[in-house]
């Protein structure tokens, strides 16, 4: 039946095809690259459109000719053999020249775009150094004295020049919606620059590592907040401030570092006011405005047992004592691997000595562990207890009592952090706004 009357099914097949095609419309594609959100992806999209246009013409022309030929010259019963010809100069020249012209139409704008996007960034661009780590992102703003992790703020309408480096293996920096991607290569510096459209202030985009880099490659993500220049400046102020509760909390960062460098004394007496919390202000992208596709969806592993009720009793001052002054710590102190600006222990240290993210304003970031989890007390508690279970291969050690450390192949003894101590540390971390 089907073999005899294929045309009967044609309308049904056509309908199915149209329905399928239409089903693709109206869906949100939060990580689509086909956007005109920056000068870079607008330029690249123009190339894509041109290719698609020319390619469609060629496709239609070739297919129509093919179908026509198959139909017209098909074998018929009793038909005469086809005319046998050899060589046709005019035809051969035509089918060489036309493709050559098409290639020129593609090559010229492509090469121009390559030169434009590979050129040095325009003078006056905002410099951001992106450092890939297994498995998280470090963002430094050298001209602003800011170091942060996994959450990048850039001003819309201003050119940003990314200096791309790696601390270990090869990674790749990609924000599909804004442009990229470009590799972060060991012992080599790459650059990438673009200007996000000014009307895209107050947006957030997903970023990914797109070069396989080990166990938690898939867990190496970031967020990009594009904000108005005013809000960017306000955010800058917050990030430049020394950590809350630190002895230097109320001192401008440069002054604090300079005072320690210039005198043997740890700090001028006037600034010795530990546990005073300077009012932290400055812009942070409102959590409530985050579109759902930018919120982490990774389920928290149920293997880590932690009673959330303990978190209510967390004491940030005790947490501060433990973390910053390494009091009562039977574990590798946090500040062996993390910098908290304004604390004596990490005073004047260069970011390069830190194995982990800068925690000075960790609670001002909506996500942690490279976009894997929302920054909530419950998640942070589990992270401190057993970062290896929270993120496979993570280079943060396992710190909870009785937790198994797969790297050392042993279970933590009683000198590790108990759940109450973790609650105190979490209370402290949450104060690092
Ligand atoms: C051996 C080094 C090391 C020690 C010790 C360490 N950490 Fe970490 N920490 C890391 C590394 C590396 C990461 C990044 C992990 C990742 O995202 O893959 C990290 C990530 C974090 C994060 C998430 C930060 C972010 O923005 O993503 C927090 C919070 C944190 N550590 C807190 C602590 C606290 C609190 C302590 C002490 C109780 C501590 N760490 C001890 C290495 C360490
Ligand atoms: Cu990576």
The pLDDT score that the predictor gives to residue 279 is: 55
Residue 2, domain member (yes or no) = no
In tens, the pLDDT along 190-242 reads 999 999 999 999 999 999 999 999 999 999 999 999 999 999 999 999 999 99
Q: How many helices (H) and strands (E) does the chain have?
A: 9, 14
Whether residue 212 is found in the same domain as residue 249:
no
Residue 150, domain member (yes or no) = yes
Supply the residue whose CA is at minimum distance from atom 13 of ligand 1.
Answer: 356
Choosing from 334, 340, 391, 408 the residue with most ligand 1 atoms within 8 A of its CB, the one to mutate for a pocket test is 334
First vs last Cα of the chain: how many Å apart? 72
pTM for the model stands at 0.87
The pLDDT score that the predictor gives to residue 78 is: 86
**Domain finish residue from 176, 204, 236:** 236
Domain containing 424 equals 239-431
Whether residue 209 is found in the same domain as residue 337:
no
The pLDDT score that the predictor gives to residue 64 is: 97
* Cα atoms in the 13 Å half-sphere on the side-chain side of 195: 14
Residue 25, domain member (yes or no) = no
Whether residue 245 is found in the same domain as residue 356:
yes
**Domain finish residue from 236, 258, 279:** 236
In tens, the pLDDT along 154-203 reads 999 999 999 999 999 999 999 999 998 999 999 999 999 999 999 999 99
Q: Are 360 and 339 in contact (CB under 8 A)?
A: yes
Longest dimension (CA), the chain: 110
3-state class (DSSP) for residue 89: helix
Residue 188, domain member (yes or no) = yes
Whether residue 403 is found in the same domain as residue 321:
yes
Whether residue 372 is found in the same domain as residue 250:
yes
Whether residue 275 is found in the same domain as residue 226:
no
The pLDDT score that the predictor gives to residue 297 is: 94
Residue 13, domain member (yes or no) = no
What CATH number has the domain bearing residue 375? 1.10.760.10
Residue 354, domain member (yes or no) = yes
Number of domains in the chain: 3
Ligand 1: atom nearest CA of 135 is 18
Mean pLDDT over 104-116 rounds to 95
**Domain finish residue from 208, 236, 264:** 236
Ligand 1: atom nearest CA of 336 is 5
Confidence of residue 11 (pLDDT cuts 50, 70, 90): confident
Whether residue 132 is found in the same domain as residue 114:
no
All residues with CB under 5 Å from ion ligand 2: 171, 209, 213, 220
Distances (CA, A) of 284 to 30, 61, 307: 22, 54, 30
Whether residue 328 is found in the same domain as residue 374:
yes
């Amino acid at each position: 039946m089907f073999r005899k009357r294929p045309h009967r099914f044609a309308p049904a097949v056509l309908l199915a095809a149209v329905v399928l095609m239409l089903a693709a419309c109206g869906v949100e594609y939060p990580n689509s690259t086909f956007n005109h959100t920056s000068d870079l992806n607008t330029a690249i999209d123009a190339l894509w459109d041109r290719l698609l246009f020319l390619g469609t013409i060629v496709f239609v022309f070739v297919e129509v000719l093919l179908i026509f030929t198959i139909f017209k010259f098909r074998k018929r019963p009793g038909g005469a053999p086809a005319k046998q010809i050899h060589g046709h100069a005019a035809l051969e020249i035509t089918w060489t020249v036309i493709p050559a012209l098409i290639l020129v139409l593609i090559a010229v704008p492509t090469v121009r775009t390559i030169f434009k996007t590979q050129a040095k960034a325009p003078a006056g661009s905002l410099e951001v150094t992106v450092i890939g780590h297994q498995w998280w992102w470090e963002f430094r703003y050298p001209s602003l004295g800011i170091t942060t992790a996994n959450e990048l703020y850039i001003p819309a309408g201003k050119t940003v020049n990314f200096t791309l480096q790696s601390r270990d293996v090869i990674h790749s920096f990609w924000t599909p919606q804004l442009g990229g991607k470009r590799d972060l290569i060991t012992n080599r510096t790459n650059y990438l620059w673009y200007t996000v459209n000014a009307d895209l202030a107050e947006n957030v985009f997903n970023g990914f590592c797109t070069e396989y880099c080990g166990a938690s490659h898939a867990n190496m993500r970031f967020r990009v907040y594009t904000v108005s220049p005013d809000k960017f400046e306000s955010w800058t102020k917050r990030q430049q401030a020394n950590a809350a509760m630190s002895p230097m909390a109320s001192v401008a960062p440069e002054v604090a570092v300079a005072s320690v460098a210039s005198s043997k004394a740890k700090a001028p007496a006037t600034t010795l006011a530990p546990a005073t919390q300077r009012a932290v202000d400055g812009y942070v992208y409102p959590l409530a405005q985050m579109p759902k596709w930018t919120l982490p969806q990774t389920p928290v592993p149920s293997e880590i047992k932690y009673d959330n009720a303990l978190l209510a009793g967390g004491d940030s001052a005790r947490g501060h004592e433990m973390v910053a002054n390494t009091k009562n710590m039977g574990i590798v102190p946090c500040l062996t691997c993390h910098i908290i600006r304004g604390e004596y222990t990490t005073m004047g240290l260069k970011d390069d000595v830190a194995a982990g993210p800068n925690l000075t304003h960790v609670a001002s970031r909506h996500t942690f562990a490279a976009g894997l989890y929302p920054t909530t007390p419950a998640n942070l508690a589990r992270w401190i207890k057993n970062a290896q279970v929270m993120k496979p291969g993570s280079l943060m050690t396992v710190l909870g009592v009785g937790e198994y450390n797969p790297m050392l192949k042993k279970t933590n003894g009683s000198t590790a952090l108990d759940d109450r101590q973790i609650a105190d540390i979490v209370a402290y971390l949450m104060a690092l706004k």
